[in-house]
Amino acid sequence: TSRLRLYGPDLDADGPRRLTLVSELRTAVLDGALEVHVQPQAALASGRIAGVEALVRWQHPSLGPIGPDEFIPVAERSGLIGPLTSQVLDASLAACATWQAGGHDLAVAVNLSTRSLHEADLVEHVARLLACHGVAAEKLTLEVTEGSVMVDPTRSVAVLRRLRDLGVRLSVDDFGTGYSSLSYLQRLPVQEVKIDRSFVAALHSGAENVAIVRAIITLGRNLGLEVVAEGVEDQATWDLLTSLDCDLVQGWHLARAMPIDDLLPWLAARTVQ
Ligand code: C2E
Ligand code: CA
Ligand code: CA
Ligand code: CA
Does ligand 1 come within 6 angstroms of the Cβ of 24? no
- Kindly report the protein residue whose alpha carbon is nearest to atom 17 of ligand 1: 231
Rounded distance from Cα 10 to ligand 4 centre (Å): 34
pLDDT tens per residue, range 203-259? 988 888 899 999 999 999 999 999 999 999 999 999 999 999 999 999 999 999 999
The 8 Å CB, 24+ separation contacts for 156-162 are: 156/117, 156/118, 157/187, 157/188, 157/189, 159/117, 159/118, 159/122, 159/123, 160/188, 160/189, 160/190, 161/189, 162/123
Distance 31 CA to ligand 1 centre (A): 23
User: What does the alpha-carbon distance between residue 4 and residue 127 come to, in Å, rounded to a whole number?
Assistant: 41
Relative to beta strand 169-175, strand 258-259 is: unpaired
Rounded to two decimals, what is the model's pTM? Answer: 0.93
Please work out whether the CB of residue 67 comes within 6 Å of at least one atom of ligand 1.
Answer: yes
Residue 190 burial class via C-beta count within 10 angstroms: exposed 0-12, middle 13-18, buried 19 and up: buried
User: What pLDDT, on the 0 to 100 scale, is given for residue 272?
Assistant: 67
Q: What is the predicted pLDDT for the residue at 3?
A: 44
Residue 68 CA, closest ligand 1 atom number: 30
Assess contact for 110 and 88: CB atoms under 8 A: yes
> Is any ligand 1 atom within 6 A of the Cβ of residue 88?
yes
- For the segment 163-183, the average pLDDT, to the nearest whole number, is 88
11 Cα to the center of ligand 3, angstroms: 34
pLDDT value of residue 185: 85
70 C-beta closer than 6 A to ligand 1: no
- pLDDT value of position 64: 92
- 230: three-class secondary structure by DSSP: coil
- N- to C-terminal Cα distance for the chain? 49
* Any ligand 1 atom below 6 A from CB of 41: no
d(CA 62, CA 135): 37
pLDDT band at 148 (very low <50, low <70, confident <90, very high): confident
Upper half-sphere CA count for residue 23 (Cβ side, 13 Å)? 9
Q: Which of 6, 21, 137, 3 is nearest to 75 (CA)?
A: 21
pLDDT of residue 7: 43
Mean pLDDT, the chain, integer: 91
For residue 42, pLDDT over 50 is answered with yes
DSSP string, 88-126: HHHHHHHHHHHHHHTT---EEEEE--HHHHT-TTHHHHH
